[in-house]
Structure 1
Amino acid sequence: MMDTAHRAKLYEQVAERIGDAISAGTLRPGERLPSVRELSTRERVSISTVLQAYLHLESLGLVETRPQSGHYVRRRERPLPAEPQVSRPAPSASPVSVSALVAHVYRAASDPRIVQLGAAMPAPELLPTQRLNRELATLAREAGEAAVGYDMPPGSPELRRQLARRAMEWGCALGPDDFITTCGGSEAIHLCLLAVARMGDTIAIESPAFYGTLRAIEALGLRALEIPSHPRHGLELEALESMLDKRRVAAVLVVPSFSNPLGSCMPEEHRQRLVKLLAERDLPLIEDDIYGDLYFGSERPRPCKAFDTEGRVLLCGSFSKTLAPGYRVGWVAPGRYRERVELLKFAQTGATPTLPQLALARFLQGGGYDRHLRALRRRLAAQVERMTEAIAEHFPEGTRVTRPTGGSLLWLELPATVDALVLHARALEAGISIAPGPIFSAQGQRYSHFIRLSCGYPWSPRIEAAMSTLGSLARSLA
């Protein structure tokens, strides 16, 4: 058993080095890879280990095998679609009403018969479930009565210490006492909105915006002011500045790193400008960094919080997109609003579940999280590429799609005649779940010919067939 585990670890290491070379452009599409025997000699591993590594890379869509010829970096079969245009929402604050449609979309997420292209969550097979289960079992035995007690705010000291250590890598000078753990990222956002706004206030947000954020704004009786956003760079700062000169807002809420649904990543200089712009107006910035660890490049984007010297940025995150959605463990570093957020946390849910926090803290402390992230990022990058190629192959002419450099989401602009809600209904009849564009805006039928697709599940014949069917349905509507 030890020998088998060692061999598996070796093939993953070999595959990781080749995958990194492909991502960096050292190995180009169409280029022949070393032969099995050559790579075996160079890496000082067995031929079977090399074969496993190549099979693994082939499953990720990075490598293709040509009979009697060898292994090659996979080529794109056809040109990719164009990107969507910058969004142009109406320049007015709107009450939000998306909950009914969101509930309808999410009912399909728990049906195993449905191909899940709608919900933005990673496939269970991409997560270290067995390792986390072992940690939970061990902790349950070791912790005794403490395991079933309340872990009152600010939350687990062990987890907050690990978060502070990771914050150093993000460029943030945060200590354990700067963090409050929450019941997922959604509660973190909810608490921040409660801390900085009152019923009837306006919150400036990106457009399109994550419907979970819109639901929180709706539940709290707030209004949403949607700001134009670029498919690659995110929030348009000039448009935001113009809006702030004309309208009173209580706060700005953004997802700078790989936003949902665009997948956009705000350049660092834009983040600095945004923090400065809001500091000049004495406005809080709620920063949702839930996808920050899922970058495809060589470096993690620094959050806006790294440029905050006055405590105006409320930084939120979660382990739901990287480790364990069902653990519901998130966190917030609320800066100058810490006392208010901690009080609200105590009033709202009292405590965050104890054992999941301890299990995640131990996983982070042992270095397992970073190893897991490296593998997860490669898988997601490959899945995003395969899905994009499938869109180019199967969807109607005129379809546009984003080019995310992290995360696991694609935002599609379909021909104007394609009604996203009709497509959603027909896709469900065919056993496929998608997220229709109208749920990403407070403004009624905006994004009526847009959809969001999740790339969280590994490419497979089932996913390939679903993409072909979905493309056919979209063509029939076009």
Structure 2
Amino acid sequence: MQQEIGVEDGSLLYERVASHVAGLIERGTLRAGDRIPSVRRLSRQQGVSVATVLQAYLHLENRGLIEARPQSGHYVRARKAPVPPEPRSARACTTASRPSIESLVAKVYGALRDPSIVPFGGGFLGPELLPTDRLNRTLSTIARSAGGAGVAYDLPPGLLALRRQIARRSIEWGCALSADEVVTTVGAMEALHLCLRAVTRPGDTVAVESPAYYGLLRLLASLGMRVIEIPAHPRTGMDLGALAEALGRHKIRAVMAIPNFNNPLGSLMPDEAKEELVEMLGRRDIPLIEDDIYGDLYFGEERPRPAKAFDRRGLVMLCSSFSKTVAPGYRVGWAAPGRFREEVEQLKFAQSVATATLPQMAVADFLDNGGYDHHLRALRRRLAAQVERMSEAVAEHFPPGTRVSRPAGGFMLWVELPPGTSALALFERALARGISIAPGPIFSAKQRFSGYIRLSCGLPWSDLLDNAIRALGRLCAECSSI
């Protein structure tokens, strides 16, 4: 067996091999359609194991640089069409309204329960991207050794070991939270729910980005809130000028935003804009409820700071969870509610008493032993490649006039359809063909964005997905011609 020297983690070695092959492609040494060296040949050339070369080739496949052909080998993929322009920003909305999207959202969710449907409309990762086996082993070990602690209520603020791990990680984000500032919750949605209830009352007006994640809109509707939509740019997020105007016209009780990789836009608010947002709201004593659930899924060199990093008044209520990175079914989330921590703790006890203990313990262990960071490095590479591959496929197969976002993190694409195309008509036709998408109107309290859709890139690329995007492009062309 070959010995691979100088590398503790095989991921660094396969990256070196992948970079070598990628360089040959970029320099034109290997051109589109050329067969690249066989796995065994490259293994001998590079002095690495066959397993390392296979991992490198899988990485290159995910990046869309090569493709495997059964019984033939690996070949350089042909370059796809250039990515279309970015979607246009929404127009400013001057009136508040009550969200009314429940029936449409229910239809989207209903389709996701059918395993035979291609779930481009879902906001989740494929299970093969998650550390399922390792978590299962960890949970099993903890369950055997936890004794009564594993089945006891873990009353608010939640498991100390987990809160300490979150606080430790927050130093890297520029927040430097203490464990006492963190409250664990049943996923990020409960964190957002508790924070909203702590600072608003039914009938209040809340400002949100537009487009906005439909889960937030449904939450606001369930609490009897009115919504004012603030246009967001697909690259930089919420328009702070439009927000300032809305603050002057309306009595806004809170602002909800996803500054890091907004869902559905994938936008990333620059640090200076985050600081301006926090200061603008601070001068008016308005809380910012910040959803940072995608913050760890960045494609660049550094994790972007949350707006909470600029908070000096305790008005930023930071919410997140491990549902998009580790285990959706564990439902382990958290909030750092600033000056409203006591109210959030009391509401947490009244609403759900406690967060499940064993999942918290498993996630805390995963964070503590370094497994989370190792997993994230691989996950971010996979997601960046999947987003790029989906963007290329939309560019190649959708009709002229289509526009596509360029997210710097997360795993969502926001697609503006050609003029005159109905997202709802496309949704219905696609569903009849076994393909789920998220139509634009569910991302607006007023059901705007009738010519937009959101596509999830959370599943590893496959022939099934490739065929589904081709079919979706044909259906889009049919809807465009109606």
Q: 1:286, 1:316 within 8 Å by CA — same for their partners in 2?
A: yes
Select which of 148, 151, 162 maps to 1:148: 151
Q: Give the drift of 1:16.
A: 3.2
Q: What's the counterpart of residue 15 of structure 1? A: 14
Question: How is 1:60-459 mapped onto 2 (pairs within 5 angstroms)?
Answer: 60-64=62-66, 76-444=79-447, 446-459=448-461
Structure 1 residue identity aligned to 2:12? Q
- Give the secondary structure class of the aligned counterpart of 1:315: strand
Structure 1 residue identity aligned to 2:107? H
TM-score, reference length from structure 2? 0.92
Q: 2:17, 2:56 within 8 Å by CA — same for their partners in 1?
A: no
Q: 1:29, 1:75 within 8 Å by CA — same for their partners in 2?
A: no
10 and 286 in structure 1: CA distance in 2 versus 1, 3 angstrom threshold:
closer
Q: 1:30, 1:72 within 8 Å by CA — same for their partners in 2?
A: no
Corresponding pairs, count:
470
Structure 1 residue identity aligned to 2:284? R
Q: Give the drift of 1:460.
A: 0.1
- After TM superposition, the structure 1 stretch with the greater mean CA deviation from structure 2, 323-332 or 92-101, is 92-101
Q: 2:18, 2:60 within 8 Å by CA — same for their partners in 1?
A: no
Q: Give the drift of 1:159.
A: 0.5
Alpha-carbon deviations, 1:306-325, whole Å to 9, x = none? Answer: 11111110000010000000
CA distance in 2, matches of 1:209, 1:111: 25
Structure 2 residue identity aligned to 1:309? R
CA distance in 2, matches of 1:76, 1:288: 36
Alpha-carbon deviations, 1:333-371, whole Å to 9, x = none? Answer: 000000000011010111000000000000000100000
TM-score, reference length from structure 1? 0.93
103 and 19 in structure 1: CA distance in 2 versus 1, 3 angstrom threshold:
farther
103 and 370 in structure 1: CA distance in 2 versus 1, 3 angstrom threshold:
same
CA distance in 2, matches of 1:156, 1:251: 28
Q: Give the drift of 1:80.
A: 1.1
Q: Give the drift of 1:145.
A: 1.7
CA distance in 2, matches of 1:173, 1:223: 34
Percent pairwise identity = 56
416 and 117 in structure 1: CA distance in 2 versus 1, 3 angstrom threshold:
same
- RMSD value, Cα: 2.7
Alpha-carbon deviations, 1:88-133, whole Å to 9, x = none? Answer: 1421111111112111100111211011101110000000001001
For the pair 1:466 / 2:468, whether they are aligned, the reply is yes
75 and 179 in structure 1: CA distance in 2 versus 1, 3 angstrom threshold:
farther
Q: 2:213, 2:264 within 8 Å by CA — same for their partners in 1?
A: yes
Q: What's the counterpart of residue 33 of structure 2? A: none
346 and 32 in structure 1: CA distance in 2 versus 1, 3 angstrom threshold:
farther
Structure 2 residue identity aligned to 1:276? E
Q: Any unmatched runs of 5+ in structure 1?
A: none
Q: Give the drift of 1:144.
A: 1.5
123 and 20 in structure 1: CA distance in 2 versus 1, 3 angstrom threshold:
farther
CA distance in 2, matches of 1:217, 1:250: 12
- Give the secondary structure class of the aligned counterpart of 1:403: coil
40 and 54 in structure 1: CA distance in 2 versus 1, 3 angstrom threshold:
same
Q: Any unmatched runs of 5+ in structure 2?
A: 31-35
Q: Give the drift of 1:45.
A: 2.1
- After TM superposition, the structure 1 stretch with the greater mean CA deviation from structure 2, 108-117 or 58-67, is 58-67
